């Protein structure tokens, strides 16, 4: 009997004595062990803060920031030794503009999300980059 059970266990896996429904339940429980629930951010009640909350959660806002990140990366990568003064001033002005945009993004998200801003790892990273 034991040898037969061990052979069945090798062929069918660890859950030999479970029905298909029970095996599905075990799989669901294993998945749930790895899922971390996220805290729901409650939109602010003030008119201005609620408008800012709505703004920062639009796909257009996220797309604008993503384009700014890509353009800023491009601007930072096109400097070279021996560039003209005008070119250097252009790059510096562009970097200043992007720094301003990223500061405004952080401030808007802080207004919209309050302390929940710091629960998102990307926001903490952005804050460290902007402030630093």
Q: Is the pTM of this model over 0.75?
A: no
Residues in contact with 73: Cβ distance below 8 Å, sequence separation at least 6, in sequence order: none
Distance, in Å, from the CA atom of 92 to the CA atom of 132, rounded to the nearest integer, reads: 17
Query: In this predicted structure, what is the pLDDT of residue 65?
Result: 97
Query: In this predicted structure, what is the pLDDT of residue 51?
Result: 94
Q: pLDDT by residue for the chain (132 residues), tens digit each?
A: 788 877 877 777 777 677 889 889 988 998 988 887 777 778 888 899 999 999 999 999 999 999 999 999 999 999 999 999 999 999 999 999 999 999 999 999 999 999 999 998 999 999 999 998
Query: In this predicted structure, what is the pLDDT of residue 100?
Result: 97
Return the closest-CA partner of residue 94 out of 107, 77, 106. 77
DSSP 40-60: PPPPPSSHHHHHHHHHHTSHH
């Amino acid at each position: 009997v034991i040898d037969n059970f061990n052979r069945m266990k090798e062929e069918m896996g660890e859950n030999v004595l479970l029905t298909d429904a029970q095996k599905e339940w075990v799989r669901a429980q294993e998945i749930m062990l790895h899922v971390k629930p996220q805290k729901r951010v409650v939109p602010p009640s003030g008119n201005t803060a609620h408008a800012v909350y709505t703004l920062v959660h639009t796909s257009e806002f996220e797309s604008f920031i993503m384009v700014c990140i890509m353009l800023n990366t491009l601007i930072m990568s096109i400097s070279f030794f021996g560039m003209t003064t005008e070119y250097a001033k252009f790059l510096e002005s562009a970097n200043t503009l992007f720094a301003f945009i990223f500061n405004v993004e952080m401030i808007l998200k802080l207004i919209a999300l309050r302390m929940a801003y710091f629960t998102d790892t990307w926001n903490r990273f952005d804050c460290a980059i902007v402030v630093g």
